[in-house]
A and B are shown apart, each in its own frame.
Chain A
Amino acid sequence: MPQYKAMEHTALAQPFRRSAAAHALGQNIGLILVCILLIASILAYCGIYYAAQERLPGGFEITSTVNNTMPLVLAALAQTVVVLTRGLDLSVGGMMDLSNAIAAVTLSASLGSMVFWSVAILALGALLGLLNGVLVAIGRLQPILVTLATLSIFQGLAIRVLPQPGGAVPEAYTAALVSTKAPYALLYVIAFGVLWSAFRRTRLGVSILAVGNDAQAARAHGIDLIRTRIAAYTLSGMLAAAAGLFLAANATAGDATTGNGYTLSSIVAVVLGGVSLFGGRGSAIGAMLGAFVSSMIVNILFFSHIDPLYQAFYEGLFLVLAVVLAEAVGRLVRKAS
């Protein structure tokens, strides 16, 4: 087979391999960027804090920052799963409201009640997420419209459950999720990081990325689009419900409206975390780090004596800047390589 040899030889003539590390670097540029952003924002925060308080932030500040970020971390995870399939979940905030409201009404101090209701709320979240998924995947409707409609429904349900802010979350519950003694909640973050790395290596994890990358190609590879999409939205609903639980634990009481802002914040965190809004690219770890960056930015604004009324302004501004910069950096890296 002479021609076959010819192919082999010309191929061998220029064997060009970049190292595994070089590939890893090029393929995880979003994650690297968010790490840099996080370090920079922590340094800036420490600097501003020092200027104001003449000492570095201590255990209390770290613990409260971590605890206050936890709902957003979960919301960002919920958003990531759906964004990776090239969707968008606007109902995250509504789901958090509902979960928060139910938690405030139902949780009592006994262990049994706390476990039962937590599980029940997560299951409800999954069920409502499933509803989103079915409408998107089987109903073949636009994710934005579906989740905008279910956002309205979830918010309505939340207000029905808890018309006025109130209820009480047992201290033990708060201690379990967001201990005020030390930033134990970081353990959850690490656990989610590990779980994501494993999930990314499962059939479903690969399918979610593949569907977001190119739905038709994924289908040709035997990936079930409907099942994958439904699974993603279900998972998202459950994670959003978990975010609502953290919100309740933080506030030690319920409020059926505090979750509203998390839809926007979760999208900000996801974008900061290097997850592509066009699907198929990104990591939940990045999104969690993005959540921390958002919260460091809020801290920085606070210590810069910027009126908290302006918070939404800066969030919006950072969102646009993050998207534009991420796009620009991505293009530069592509050109360089």
Chain B
Amino acid sequence: MTAKTAIGDMPTPAVEASNVRKAFGGVVALDGANFSAASGEVHALVGENGAGKSTLIKIIGGRLHADAGEVRIAGRKVVLSGPDAAHRLGAWTVFQELTLLTWMTVAENLFLGHEIRNSLGLIARGKLFSKAEQVLADVGIFHIDPRALVEDISLAERQLIEIVRAITQNPQILLLDEPTSSLVERETVWLFEQIRRLCKNGTSVVFTSHRWNEIRTIADRITVFRNGKDVGTFTELGEEEAVTLMTGTRVDVFFPPLPQAPQSQPALSVRELSGPRIKSVSFDLYKGEVLGMGGLAGHGHREVFFSLFGAEPHSAERIEMSGKPVRIRNPRGAVRQRIALVPEDRKTEGLLLPLSVRNNLTLTILRQLSRFGLVRVGEERRLAQTLVERLKIRARDLFVAVGALSGGNQQKVLLGRWLLAASDVLLLYDVTRGVDVATKHEIYELVLGLAREGHGILFYSSDAEELAHLCHRVLVMREGRIAAVLSQPGITAEQIVAAAMREHATV
């Protein structure tokens, strides 16, 4: 890695963005951001969710147009009309949301837009597959069948294909937006090998990640983003320092203390829950307990949550609520049993964004709120108002569309809906993802407050640190089973990650 010393000598950066502004509706994503990356270096972009990293990458990748400011590639000012314009200039992007076409084969996806043609100018399908096999083998991937439909391969495999697509173009600039989020460690190591190889050939690699280890391992320089602006570029940066820069405040005692030990009666008992991707899951969730659930993505957590809520097919030997056996066939049944689910993606699975705060809050309790089918509006307003005050939801009034609120306030509305429904058991699935730090803290307080009131809370998080600090116990899932049960005191994030990874290497 000689890149670090080479930077000073580079007269023109491979890619440069200056004073870039971009707003979506009223929300400013980039507010005069500057950034530049040299040839042959790995440049990490770090910042909180919503700091503008992805937006910047999309602008350089040609997927979005900046409202103001300019982008230079190899010193020349460019106006990118679309991703193909960026491709022509040698800038390739692996976007955070995957862009593979599910009903096409792996090979077709690898060569989409630059297909291998025969003498008639038509795509040569036979050659397509052998060439794809070759390309994959060249980068050390042998386990993905180029003839398979993307629909039929796993999320991690899709991510690998997406990466291979970009790196086989010999890009001058390679932009990777959270490329490792669905990869296991082995695959991440593979990716870093590829990145190093490209850098040796002079490619400039820009990449984002929330995992500090990865950034420390691979990045030559780090640019920190906050609120749509760059706040500094560094060759050496400690984690704590970085977090301070990212949040703008010093991080002190971040997690609230755990409430007292849970009660002795279980709120929810699950025995031998099975279904697609889950095998014989059994556990007890006690009243007043925050029971964490951790492990690698795609190992059955989501299925457990959705099955318990009746939104996925499942079978179980026994499910009991406060000692009474129940059968949950659909979400309506779950609501009746006072089970609540806050799903991972609040915008598509949780909230009704164009509808008002009031309508979102009271949706599940309309039955209790109405007489002869007519909604008792006065009572409804009173309830909704109480909740808005209790959760400190910052909204102009009850009739403003939920979509107009900030991410954290949206999440509170969703939690509020289930508080109104007087849920005994709350299934919270990655509720702090994409939420700013201040609101995260409020949500932690809220969750622990609910536990104190005697609610049973099943808490999945992709952030092991969060699990270690917030939960009485943590169930670690691996391949659809509960692989480990960790108890306080003394749960650490490392323990959780280790339990999730164990045996993994030998499979």
Direct contact of A and B (CB under 8 A): yes
Using a CB–CB distance below 8 Å, which chain A residues touch chain B?
Answer: 1, 3-4, 6-8, 10-12, 14-18, 20, 23, 26-27, 198, 201-203, 206, 209-210, 213-214, 216-224, 280-281, 337
Q: Residue B113 at the A interface, CB < 8 A?
A: yes
Can you show 5 pairs from A to B with CB atoms below 8 A apart? A7-B140, A12-B143, A18-B147, A217-B98, A337-B152
Q: Once bound together, how far apart are the Cα atoms of A6 and B83, in whole Å?
A: 34
Which of B108, B123, B148 sits near A202, CB closer than 8 Å?
Answer: B123
Which of A4, A18, A27, A219 sits near B82, CB closer than 8 Å?
Answer: A219
Which of A198, A206, A219 sits near B108, CB closer than 8 Å?
Answer: A206
Q: Residue B141 at the A interface, CB < 8 A?
A: yes
**Chain B residues near A6 (CB, 8 Å)?**
186, 189
Determine, out of B65-73, B99-107, B320-328, the stretch whose residues face the partner at the interface: B99-107
Q: Once bound together, how far apart are the Cα atoms of A14 and B145, in whole Å?
A: 12
Which of A7, A11, A216, A281 sits near B103, CB closer than 8 Å?
Answer: A281
Q: Residue B115 at the A interface, CB < 8 A?
A: yes
**With known contacts A17-B145, A206-B112, A217-B100, A222–B87 Cβ distance under 8 A:** yes
Pairwise interchain contact A216-B99, C-beta atoms closer than 8 A: yes
Residues 183-224 of chain B, each 1 if its beta carbon lies under 8 Å from chain A, else 0: 000110110010000000000000000000000000000000
A86 to chain B, nearest CB (A): 11
**Chain A residues near B112 (CB, 8 Å)?**
206, 210, 221, 223
Q: Once bound together, how far apart are the Cα atoms of A218 and B100, in whole Å?
A: 8
Q: How large is the interface on B (under 10, 10 to 19, 20 to 34, 35 or more residues)?
A: 35 or more
Residues 45-87 of chain B, each 1 if its beta carbon lies under 8 Å from chain A, else 0: 0000000000000000001000000000000000000111001
Q: Once bound together, how far apart are the Cα atoms of A27 and B106, in whole Å?
A: 13
Residues 98-132 of chain B, each 1 if its beta carbon lies under 8 Å from chain A, else 0: 11111111001000110100001111110001000
Q: Residue B95 at the A interface, CB < 8 A?
A: yes
Pairwise interchain contact A23-B148, C-beta atoms closer than 8 A: yes
Q: Residue B483 at the A interface, CB < 8 A?
A: no
- Which residue, B83, B100, B101, B190, has most C-beta atoms of chain A within 10 A? B101
**Chain B residues near A221 (CB, 8 Å)?**
83, 99, 101, 112-113
Pairwise interchain contact B83-A219, C-beta atoms closer than 8 A: yes
Enumerate the 9 nearest inter-chain pairs by beta-carbon distance, A residue then B residue, closest first.
Answer: A222-B84, A220-B99, A201-B122, A201-B123, A3-B189, A217-B99, A11-B143, A23-B147, A7-B190
Pairwise interchain contact A4-B103, C-beta atoms closer than 8 A: no
**With known contacts A218-B101, A219-B83, A18–B145 Cβ distance under 8 A:** yes
A228 to chain B, nearest CB (A): 12
**Chain A residues near B152 (CB, 8 Å)?**
337
Q: Residue B142 at the A interface, CB < 8 A?
A: yes
Measured CB to CB, the nearest residue on chain B to A23 is B147
**Chain B residues near A4 (CB, 8 Å)?**
140, 189-190, 193
Q: Once bound together, how far apart are the Cα atoms of A14 and B507, in whole Å?
A: 10
**With known contacts A206-B123, A224-B82, A7–B99 Cβ distance under 8 A:** no
A165 to chain B, nearest CB (A): 44
Pairwise interchain contact A198-B143, C-beta atoms closer than 8 A: no
Q: Once bound together, how far apart are the Cα atoms of A14 and B148, in whole Å?
A: 16
**With known contacts A3-B189, A18-B147, A206-B108, A220–B63 Cβ distance under 8 A:** yes
**Chain A residues near B121 (CB, 8 Å)?**
202
Measured CB to CB, the nearest residue on chain A to B95 is A220
Measured CB to CB, the nearest residue on chain B to A2 is B189
**Chain A residues near B148 (CB, 8 Å)?**
18, 23
Q: Once bound together, how far apart are the Cα atoms of A198 and B124, in whole Å?
A: 10
Residues 292-327 of chain B, each 1 if its beta carbon lies under 8 Å from chain A, else 0: 000000000000000000000000000000000000
Given A11-B141, A12-B143, output 14 extra A-B contacts at Cβ < 8 Å. Answer: A3-B186, A3-B193, A8-B142, A11-B142, A11-B143, A23-B148, A202-B122, A206-B108, A213-B104, A216-B97, A217-B101, A222-B83, A222-B84, A222-B87
A258 to chain B, nearest CB (A): 36
A174 to chain B, nearest CB (A): 34
Pairwise interchain contact B186-A223, C-beta atoms closer than 8 A: no
Pairwise interchain contact A213-B102, C-beta atoms closer than 8 A: yes
**Chain B residues near A337 (CB, 8 Å)?**
152
**With known contacts A3-B189, A11-B140, A280–B83 Cβ distance under 8 A:** no
**Chain B residues near A220 (CB, 8 Å)?**
63, 83, 93, 95, 99
Q: Residue B149 at the A interface, CB < 8 A?
A: yes
Which of B101, B125, B140 sits near A280, CB closer than 8 Å?
Answer: B101
Residues 144-185 of chain B, each 1 if its beta carbon lies under 8 Å from chain A, else 0: 010111001000000000000000000000000000000000
Measured CB to CB, the nearest residue on chain A to B145 is A17
A209 to chain B, nearest CB (A): 7
A203 to chain B, nearest CB (A): 8
Pairwise interchain contact B113-A222, C-beta atoms closer than 8 A: yes
Q: Once bound together, how far apart are the Cα atoms of A17 and B106, in whole Å?
A: 13
Pairwise interchain contact B113-A223, C-beta atoms closer than 8 A: yes
B300 to chain A, nearest CB (A): 19
Pairwise interchain contact B189-A7, C-beta atoms closer than 8 A: yes
**Chain A residues near B63 (CB, 8 Å)?**
219-220
Measured CB to CB, the nearest residue on chain A to B129 is A20
Measured CB to CB, the nearest residue on chain A to B147 is A23
Which of A7, A209, A218, A281 sits near B187, CB closer than 8 Å?
Answer: A7
**Chain A residues near B145 (CB, 8 Å)?**
16-18, 23
Pairwise interchain contact B82-A206, C-beta atoms closer than 8 A: no
Measured CB to CB, the nearest residue on chain B to A281 is B103
Q: Once bound together, how far apart are the Cα atoms of A83 and B125, in whole Å?
A: 24
Which of B101, B141, B149 sits near A214, CB closer than 8 Å?
Answer: B101
Q: Once bound together, how far apart are the Cα atoms of A20 and B125, in whole Å?
A: 12
**With known contacts A213-B103, A216-B99, A220-B63, A12–B122 Cβ distance under 8 A:** no
Q: Once bound together, how far apart are the Cα atoms of A14 and B100, in whole Å?
A: 24
Q: Once bound together, how far apart are the Cα atoms of A8 and B82, in whole Å?
A: 36
**Chain B residues near A223 (CB, 8 Å)?**
112-113
**Chain A residues near B141 (CB, 8 Å)?**
11
